[in-house]
Amino acid sequence: MSTNPLLEDFTTPYESVPFDKIELEHYMPAFKESIEKARKEIDNIASNSITPGFSNTIEALEYSGHQLDRVASVFFNLNHSHTNDDMQALAREVSPMLTEFSNDIIMNEKLFARVKLVYENKAKFRLNVEQEKLLTDRYKSFVRSGADLDEEKKAKIREISKELSKLTLQFGENVLAATNNFELHLSDKKDVAGLPDGILEAASALAKEKEKDGWLFNLQFPSYVPFMQYADNRELREKMFRAYSSRCFNDKFDNQKVIHRIIELRLAKVKLLGYESYADFVLEERMAKSADKVLSFLNELLDASMPRAKEEFKELQDYAKSLGADFELQRWDWAYYAEKLKTEKYDINDEITRPYFELERVKKGIFDLAGKLYGLQFKLNADIPKYHKEVDVYEVFDSKGEFVSLFYADFHPRSTKQGGAWMTSFTDQYMIGEEDFRPHISIVCNFTRPTATKPSLLTFNEVTTFLHEFGHALHGMLSKCTYSALSGTNVYRDFVELPSQFMENFAFRKEWLDEVAEHYETGEKIPSELVQKIIDSANFLSGYSFVRQISFGLNDMSWHSVKEPIIEDVSAFENKAMASTELFSPIKESCMSTSFSHIFAGGYAAGYYGYKWAEVLDADAFEAFKENGIYDKATANSFRKNILEKGGSEHPMDLYLKFRGKEPSIDPLLKRSGLK
């Protein structure tokens, strides 16, 4: 009988995942065996005859299910970054199994009784801060999952959880399918007028892959975004926009019923737990604490940014008219005229800067930045197995040569990968006794591909995205916690974006740009005047950008603040939620909610505001670096010790106060964005 690599000890370097040995048929047997193994571990804890204590109950729970966690991590990470129809079908089969097992743990009365007893007697255990945080989180996770409910309500929560796990998977699968389903094939040169040579070369290569002539464009960001920025053909821009903005809306991948059911089930679940809305439930465990505070925060930002956004809208409308546009600006016009106006005002655009941001050079610059701030060194290791040939794997060491982490980097789009960019982990950091188990961290992106004549040349937005995801990666890599449940990015959702958005600040600093930006052909350093233009143009249309992000947060909060199931049309509900932020005339054929994976397939439900919340933190935090020098070792060390290493082992505001010495102010964000 052949062995299953997922069930064996990994003999690879650093016990990394042996991707080269794992086949699809290995997953289901691995899941079944790992669930049974974890079930026995849970039963042993629950039936322990020794009086419940922190070690034999809370820590024992924390260290149980290790094999299952490993199998699930590998499977679901690949289901996002390198999937296929068979893997998606398997995910639909596996997810309810895992939900059922999770419910079995939560609903285990003997187990909960032990956890509750430890929690109620925590004073006598003399716990440190991290131990007390783990105990409190574990106890709350039981209560917030229904462990204190009667049997009838527990049974209802079980069924709701299983159905929700299927629906969120289905939502994400539909978005990927709808994104892959659209292609714009062009063969007439006049239809691609305005598009830069590099974009046309990439589109030509894409067409050749599909055995077509001419140029092929799709809805993946490296294709879609430049088309909307540069294509002179307004009708084709409209066609692309309508395809993108109507994904999973009145098409064969329709997510409208899925949304209604997800909202209905989330509401039903939290009502069983005694909450009026899903937002009330979620925000109880966030820095913001309440829906009222979130809405007050978003509306404060809206009041600060909407006047500027309206001015910017009028300016762009007037500018378009000066170029002969005899129509009211529509959404498919915004990026096109914005790019032209930016070029005219600042003599800068993506195609001017792109030659200076060759991916390999940017990667080195970001690695060097991590070296300057935290003493990290990155060493490529081709012997470590990877799940796709395009993935690079690095060993990460500290300044003393001690191993810190593995770092996987997966940069380019493909039909098997979900859109966007994200950081994840194959193994989180944790400790057992004195042994520190170091993490295996990954970032997955959809950056511009190399072509036959050019390497991968990034837009400035892709540079900031790289910095953003790398900030998350540092949060995972530098973790120094005892428990994996509290390590790395296992923090409050409205705190998790602080390390990532903090890193974006360096993209607008002359010191860093001077070091990283170099022309891919000539080797010429980026001209100082071009650096200044990047800095000067940082707040171009910042009011509009603010309002757009706020609109997403308000949409999210509206869906999750309802107190009764929604029967209203998805598009109508969305339009009402975002009405206060609207600058354009509505388009009835488009709907962003049906592809809003962050809140319907990811972990940001009632939490999308967290991006803006964390921007307040990151702008305030970077003020310390501006005051002391952006590479100041002492400041960087404080940020590392008090933020990056601590994960969720303490309350985030306590951690922030230790770093900054004061609570964050909204002023640095408004000033940085040119709104104050």
C-alpha torsion sign, points 45, 46, 51, 54 = positive
294-300 contacts: CB < 8 A, separation 24 or more?
Answer: 294/553, 294/557, 294/609, 295/554, 295/557, 297/609, 297/612, 297/613, 298/550, 298/553, 298/554, 298/557, 298/609, 298/612, 300/666
How does the average pLDDT of the chain come out, rounded?
97
**Environment class of residue 153 by beta-carbon count within 10 Å: exposed (0-12), middle (13-18) or buried (19+)?**
middle
Which pLDDT belongs to residue 664?
95
Nearest-angstrom CA–CA distance, 76 and 81 = 9
Q: What is the mean pLDDT of residues 434-454?
A: 96
Q: Which helix (H) or strand (E) holds 41?
A: helix 24-46
Helix (H, G, I), strand (E, B) or coil at 211: coil
| b/e per residue 414-437 (b: at least 16 CB within 10 A) | eebbbbbbbbbbbbbbbeeeeeeb
% of the chain residues with pLDDT over 90: 99
CA 393 to chain CA centroid, Å, is: 20
Q: What is the mean pLDDT of residues 461-468?
A: 98
pLDDT in tens, 599-626: 999 999 999 999 999 999 999 999 999 9
Q: What single-letter DSSP state applies at residue 644?
A: I
Nearest-angstrom CA–CA distance, 637 and 641 = 6
Strand partners, 396: 378, 405
198-207 contacts: CB < 8 A, separation 24 or more?
Answer: 198/351, 198/354, 198/451, 198/454, 198/457, 199/226, 199/227, 199/230, 201/451, 201/452, 201/453, 201/454, 202/448, 202/449, 202/451, 205/449, 205/451, 205/452
Please give the single-letter amino acid code of residue 419. Answer: G
Can you name the CATH fold of 256-346+543-608? Neurolysin; domain 3 (1.10.1370)
Q: Which of 629, 617, 615, 630 is nearest to 659 (CA)?
A: 617
469 given a catalytic annotation: yes
pLDDT in tens, 39-69: 999 999 999 999 999 999 999 999 999 999 9
Scan for tokens 């300044």, then name that residue. 399
pLDDT in tens, 553-579: 999 999 999 999 999 999 999 999 999
Give Cα separations from 536 to 194, 539, 540 (angstroms). 25, 7, 8
Q: What is the mean pLDDT of residues 172-185?
A: 97
Query: Around 130, how many Cα atoms within 13 Å sit in the side-chain half-sphere?
Result: 18
Please give the single-letter amino acid code of residue 131. Answer: Q
Tokens standing for residue 529: 């005047």
Mapping DSSP onto H, E and C, the string for 222-235 reads: HHHHHHHHHCCCHH
Residue 1 has pLDDT above 60, yes or no: no
Q: What is the mean pLDDT of residues 211-233?
A: 97
For the beta carbon of residue 265, count every other beta carbon within 10 angstroms: 19
CATH class assigned to 5-148: mainly alpha
Written as one string, the DSSP assignment of 109-168 is HHHHHHHHHHHHTGGGGT--HHHHHHHHHHHHHHHTTTTTS-HHHHHHHHHHHHHHHHHH
- Quote the Cα angle for 238-241-246, to 5°: 120
Which pLDDT belongs to residue 676?
84
Q: What is the mean pLDDT of residues 406-423?
A: 97
**Environment class of residue 242 by beta-carbon count within 10 Å: exposed (0-12), middle (13-18) or buried (19+)?**
middle
Tokens standing for residue 479: 């973790």
Please give the single-letter amino acid code of residue 43. Answer: D
For the beta carbon of residue 459, count every other beta carbon within 10 angstroms: 21
Q: What is the mean pLDDT of residues 223-250?
A: 98
Q: What is the mean pLDDT of residues 288-316?
A: 97
C-alpha torsion sign, points 478, 481, 484, 486 = negative
Residue 351 has pLDDT above 80, yes or no: yes
Q: Do domains 256-346+543-608 and 355-540+611-672 have the same CATH topology?
A: yes
Strand partners, 525: 518
Q: pLDDT category, 2, cuts 50, 70, 90? A: low
Phi and psi based region of residue 208 (left: phi greater than 0; alpha: psi -120 to 50; beta: remaining): alpha
pLDDT in tens, 482-530: 999 999 999 999 999 999 999 999 999 999 999 999 999 999 999 999 9
Nearest-angstrom CA–CA distance, 386 and 35 = 25
Question: What are the boundaries of each domain within the chain?
Answer: 5-148, 182-245, 256-346+543-608, 355-540+611-672
355-540+611-672: CATH number: 1.10.1370.40
Which pLDDT belongs to residue 300?
96
State the distance between the two ends of the chain, measured CA to CA, in whole angstroms: 69
Catalytic residue of the set 62, 469, 518, 574? 469
**Phi, psi of 215, deg, nearest 5:** -135, 145
Give Cα separations from 584 to 229, 230, 332, 334, 588 (angstroms). 18, 20, 11, 10, 12
